[in-house]
């Protein structure tokens, strides 16, 4: 059986061959105007792969692409701060939801046996960007306050992209309640959504005990990702891992657990991980991810028919991210598969 996402091409990089996946490309402008062929392609990507490229090269998305460039600069400056400064905003200390603050490398399990994770992340919750609770604004590095307008703009734009994707999935899947997906993600309602700034060190500068990001399905609904260097890999139907190469002017979008569950398990929450890429030998890899996640009280059923709230599933999943590999392998929460962690071999 041929499945979208199973076709790989081999890129040549120096002496190394790199397996990469040919994802569907969905032009956002066509999706927004409701073009039927584009919606059909979206549905195919969502049901057969769970990943696609969103083409943002139309002139109406130029200001968003400019904002993404500005957020890269912000992210570089942020991670130039000392560890001592960043750790004063420790995400595990700021609050139980882990949606605001800094996580240093090494706090989670990593992508190879015996390793911890190799990436830093700073999360800015959408609740705090939109000031949903003016009394609960976690203190953050000054650089964010200097770029408040940029953060509000990009969150609004990326949330809007998420809403369009939800609307189109909703109609294409002919869900019993045509508003159910949108109603679980209302803009301005408290949710675990967040903008994530991630940094992976260059291969030349890797700490021996820390590597990449462990294989996982995303906890939320839609992840909109931008990066300039490779490293992200998806598990394909044939069981092989393949790189999702970055494409200028495009975002990489993937579906997470919450959307899969909200859509009656008709969409795939694809397994992915981050490993060192041959192109990232000497440069650090920065990625920008908008994690669109359901409202706290949205409800859905997991694979076994157990009912969760948005916040409940989030809390459950993050406990597993922090657990040992022995615990992670015992159930399907992290990867959607019991007994499989998708570790990088020979490391």
Q: Verify binding: residue 287, ligand AKG, rule CB under 6 A.
A: yes
Q: Verify binding: residue 89, ligand AKG, rule CB under 6 A.
A: no
Per partner kind, with CB cut-offs from 5 to 8 A, the member of Fe ion, ligand AKG, none near residue 68 is: none
Size of the site for ligand AKG (CB under 6 A): 12
Phi, psi of 210 (to 5 degrees): -130, 135
Within positions 194 to 213, which residues make up the interface with ligand AKG, using CB under 6 A? 196, 198, 213
Q: Verify binding: residue 272, ligand AKG, rule CB under 6 A.
A: yes
Minimum Å gap between C-beta 1 and ligand AKG is 27
Within positions 146 to 205, which residues make up the interface with ligand AKG, using CB under 6 A? 196, 198
Minimum Å gap between C-beta 231 and ligand AKG is 6
Q: Please pick, from the candidates 86, 224, 225, 234, the single residue that binds ligand AKG as defined by CB under 6 A.
A: 225
Minimum Å gap between C-beta 228 and ligand AKG is 11
Q: Please pick, from the candidates 232, 255, 262, 311, the single residue that binds ligand AKG as defined by CB under 6 A.
A: 232
Using CB atoms, what's the residue nearest to Fe ion?
218
Distance of CA 72 to the CA centre of its chain: 16
Minimum Å gap between C-beta 244 and ligand AKG is 8
In terms of DSSP bridges, do strands 120-125 and 194-200 run parallel, antiparallel, or are they unpaired? antiparallel
CA torsion sign for 131, 132, 138, 140 is negative
Binding mask 196-235 for Fe ion (x = CB under 5 A): ----------------------x-----------------
- The secondary structure of the chain, three-state, reads CCCCCCCEEEEEECCEEEEEECCCEEEHHHHHHCCHHHHHHHHHHHHHCCEEEEECCCHHHHHHHHHHHHHHHHHHHHHHCCHHHHHHHEHHHHCCCCCCEEECCCCCECCCCCCECCCEEEEEEHHHHCCCCCCCCCCCCHHHHHCHHHHHHHHHHHHHHHHHHHHHHHHHHCCCCCCHHHHCCCCCCCECCEEEEEEECCHHHCCCCECCEEEECCCCCEEEEEECCCCEEEECCCCCEEECCCCCCEEEEEECHHHHHHCCCCCCCCCEEECCCHHHCCCCEEEEEEEECCECCCEEECCCCCEEEHHHHHHHHHHHHCCCHHHHCCCCCCCCCCCCCCCCCCC
Minimum Å gap between C-beta 196 and ligand AKG is 6
Q: Verify binding: residue 55, Fe ion, rule CB under 5 A.
A: no
Between 39 and 288, whose beta carbon lies closer to Fe ion?
288
Minimum Å gap between C-beta 176 and ligand AKG is 30
Q: Verify binding: residue 4, ligand AKG, rule CB under 6 A.
A: no
Between 307 and 319, whose beta carbon lies closer to ligand AKG?
319
Point out which span in 71-79, 86-94, 187-195, 224-232 binds ligand AKG (CB under 6 A). 224-232
Size of the site for Fe ion (CB under 5 A): 1
Q: State the residues that interact with ligand AKG by CB under 6 A.
A: 196, 198, 213, 218, 225, 227, 231-232, 272, 274, 287, 289
């Amino acid at each position: 059986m041929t499945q979208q996402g199973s076709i790989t091409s081999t890129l040549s990089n120096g002496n190394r061959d790199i397996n990469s996946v040919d994802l569907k490309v969905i032009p956002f402008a066509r999706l927004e105007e409701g073009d039927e062929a584009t919606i059909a392609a979206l549905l195919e990507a969502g049901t057969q792969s769970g990943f696609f490229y969103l083409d943002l090269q139309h002139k109406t998305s130029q200001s968003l692409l400019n904002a993404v460039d500005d957020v890269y600069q912000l992210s570089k400056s942020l991670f130039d701060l000392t560890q001592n400064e960043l750790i004063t905003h420790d995400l595990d200390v700021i609050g139980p939801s882990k949606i605001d603050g800094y996580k240093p490398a090494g706090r989670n399990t990593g992508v190879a046996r015996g390793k911890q994770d190799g990436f830093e992340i700073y999360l800015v919750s959408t609740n705090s960007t939109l000031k949903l609770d003016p009394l609960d604004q976690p203190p953050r590095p000054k650089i964010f306050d200097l770029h408040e307008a940029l953060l509000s703009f990009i969150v609004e734009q990326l949330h809007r992209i998420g809403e369009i994707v939800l609307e189109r999935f909703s109609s294409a899947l002919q869900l019993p309640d045509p508003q159910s997906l949108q109603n679980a993600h209302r803009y301005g309602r408290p949710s675990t959504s967040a903008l994530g700034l991630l940094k992976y060190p260059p291969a030349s500068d890797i700490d021996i005990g820390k590597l990449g990001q462990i294989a996982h399905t995303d906890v939320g609904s839609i992840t909109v990702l931008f990066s300039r260097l490779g490293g992200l890999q998806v598990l394909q139907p044939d069981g092989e891992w393949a790189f999702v190469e970055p494409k200028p002017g495009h975002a990489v979008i993937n579906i997470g657990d919450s959307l899969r569950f909200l859509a009656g398990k008709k969409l795939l929450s694809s397994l992915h991980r981050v490993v060192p890429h041959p192109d990232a030998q000497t440069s650090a890899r920065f990625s920008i991810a908008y994690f669109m996640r359901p409202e706290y009280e949205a409800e859905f059923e997991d694979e076994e028919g157990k009912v969760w709230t948005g916040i409940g599933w989030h809390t459950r999943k993050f406990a597993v991210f922090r657990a040992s590999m022995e615990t992670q392998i015992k159930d399907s929460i992290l990867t959607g598969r019991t007994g499989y962690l998708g570790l990088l071999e020979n490391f």
